[in-house]
């Protein structure tokens, strides 16, 4: 039962009796708050797109030691940025059609502070540069050469991000140069991560090398606050993976957080977010979008267009790779 409904009901003759235990149970903010008749808040907890066990385990390690959600999501997604086997994030990411690896990332904290880097080259951990943009500059986004220059000023080291494997595949792709920005289960692994720490505060991070062989200068949803990621510490957070252009068109993550504010569960909100995208693409649904969300109670959800999307959860209740429900069933 929602707290507001509970209070409404409690005025029907039993207010005096019921109000006291309710207020008492909420009086100590350090304790896990419970509202009469509701489950206790599940925290800390971390959730991320796809089956990124190592990334979610790293974030959980930070949270379990009492670390804050911002450090947890940064350190969690850094695992994927460093993993050259993941060709959609950071070092080892697939290049644009000119052979340049350009990275997008953003981060958002409990106070609504945020930072992003767009289309940045030669830096292995764009999420940490995004955090520096948030913490060390009066700005929210830095793009291209400016972002790279700022990273060097902050002590980041120039790194060639194009691995032999990604280079070989790009050389092969050039034989046809067929530009098919279709994203499905086989060719994308962007990581979006949301965490609630022991204080109940929420932060999120999202990082990607974007679409393989994209046009030079192309930026997707992942570094765009509101599209690829949004956090409101009063409500919850959401993040996305898939065809960024479609996520931007609906400002997907912001939409999902607002739907949760209106009372939808994370699951219902993600489903509605996907339905809005479907409504704009009535004749063409051969692409993938996956949304995940978490609310203030630690409830989680995910929804996607094509079957195959999964998301990881990690809390004291254990960890799991959860298959997401999808709009298209087979």
CB of 3 to ligand SD4, least distance (A): 35
Of 10 and 285, CB closest to ligand SD4 = 285
The residues with which 312 forms a beta bridge, in sequence order, are: 48, 321
Query: Contact letters (x/-) for ligand SD4, 164-183, by CB under 6 A?
Result: -------------------x
Site for ligand SD4 contains 237 (CB under 6 A):
no
The residues with which 326 forms a beta bridge, in sequence order, are: 304
Chain position carrying tokens 């953003």: 106
The residues with which 120 forms a beta bridge, in sequence order, are: 103
Tokens in use for 259?
């739907």
| φ/ψ of residue 201, rounded to 5 | -90, 145
Query: Contact letters (x/-) for ligand SD4, 65-94, by CB under 6 A?
Result: -----------------------x------
Of 50 and 156, CB closest to ligand SD4 = 50
CB of 319 to ligand SD4, least distance (A): 21
CB of 260 to ligand SD4, least distance (A): 21
The residues with which 319 forms a beta bridge, in sequence order, are: 314
Which whole-number Å values give the CA distances from 67 to 45, 72, 126, 275, in the listed order?
A: 12, 7, 21, 36
Site for ligand SD4 contains 189 (CB under 6 A):
yes
What span, in angstroms and rounded, lies between the C-alpha atoms of 224 and 118? 9
Active-site annotation holds for 11: no
Cα dihedral 258→238→138→197 (10° resolution) = 110
| From 22-30, 242-250, 256-264, 305-313, span contacting ligand SD4 (CB under 6 A) | 242-250
Q: How many residues bind ligand SD4 (CB under 6 A)?
A: 15
Site for ligand SD4 contains 223 (CB under 6 A):
no
What span, in angstroms and rounded, lies between the C-alpha atoms of 13 and 213? 66
Q: Answer for the pair 193, 73: CB distance below 8 angstroms, yes or no.
A: yes
| From 163-171, 215-223, 274-282, 310-318, span contacting ligand SD4 (CB under 6 A) | 215-223
| From 60-68, 75-83, 120-128, 241-249, span contacting ligand SD4 (CB under 6 A) | 241-249
Considering the candidates 49, 102, 163, 190, report the single residue annotated as catalytic. Answer: 190
Site for ligand SD4 contains 236 (CB under 6 A):
no
CA dihedral sign, ordered 128, 229, 216, 136: negative
Site for ligand SD4 contains 211 (CB under 6 A):
yes
Give the three-class secondary structure for 323: strand
- Catalytic residue numbers read 190
Binding site for ligand SD4 (CB under 6 A): 88, 183, 188-190, 208, 210-211, 220-222, 241-244
């Amino acid at each position: 039962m929602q707290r507001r409904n509970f209070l409404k009901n409690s005025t029907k003759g039993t207010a005096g009796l019921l109000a006291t235990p309710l207020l008492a149970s909420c009086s100590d903010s350090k304790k896990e708050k419970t509202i009469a008749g509701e489950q206790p808040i599940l925290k800390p907890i971390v959730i991320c797109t796809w089956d990124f066990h190592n990334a979610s385990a790293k974030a959980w390690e930070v949270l379990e030691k009492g670390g804050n959600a911002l450090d947890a999501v940064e350190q969690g997604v850094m695992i994927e940025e460093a993993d050259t086997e993941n060709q959609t994030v950071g070092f080892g990411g697939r290049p644009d059609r000119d052979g340049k690896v350009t990275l997008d990332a953003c981060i958002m904290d409990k106070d609504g502070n945020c930072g992003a880097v767009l289309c940045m080259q030669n830096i292995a951990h764009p999420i940490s540069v995004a955090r520096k943009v948030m913490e060390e500059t009066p700005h929210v986004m830095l793009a291209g050469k400016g972002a790279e220059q700022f990273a060097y000023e902050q002590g980041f080291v120039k790194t060639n991000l194009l691995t032999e494997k990604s280079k070989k595949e790009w050389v092969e792709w050039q034989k046809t140069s067929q530009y098919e920005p279709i994203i499905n289960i086989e060719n994308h692994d962007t990581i979006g991560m949301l965490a609630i720490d022991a204080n109940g505060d929420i932060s999120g991070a999202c990082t990607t090398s974007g679409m393989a062989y994209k046009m030079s200068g192309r930026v997707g949803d992942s570094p765009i606050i509101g599209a690829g990621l949004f956090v409101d510490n009063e409500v919850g957070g959401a993040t996305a993976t898939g065809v960024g252009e479609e996520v931007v068109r609906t400002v997907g993550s912001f939409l999902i957080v607002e739907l949760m504010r209106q009372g939808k569960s994370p699951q219902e909100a993600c489903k509605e977010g996907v339905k809005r995208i479907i409504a704009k693409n009535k004749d063409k649904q051969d692409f993938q979008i996956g949304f995940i969300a978490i609310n203030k109670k630690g409830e989680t959800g995910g929804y996607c267009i094509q079957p195959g999307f999964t998301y990881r959860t990690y809390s004291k209740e254990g960890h799991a790779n959860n298959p997401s429900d999808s709009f298209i069933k087979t």
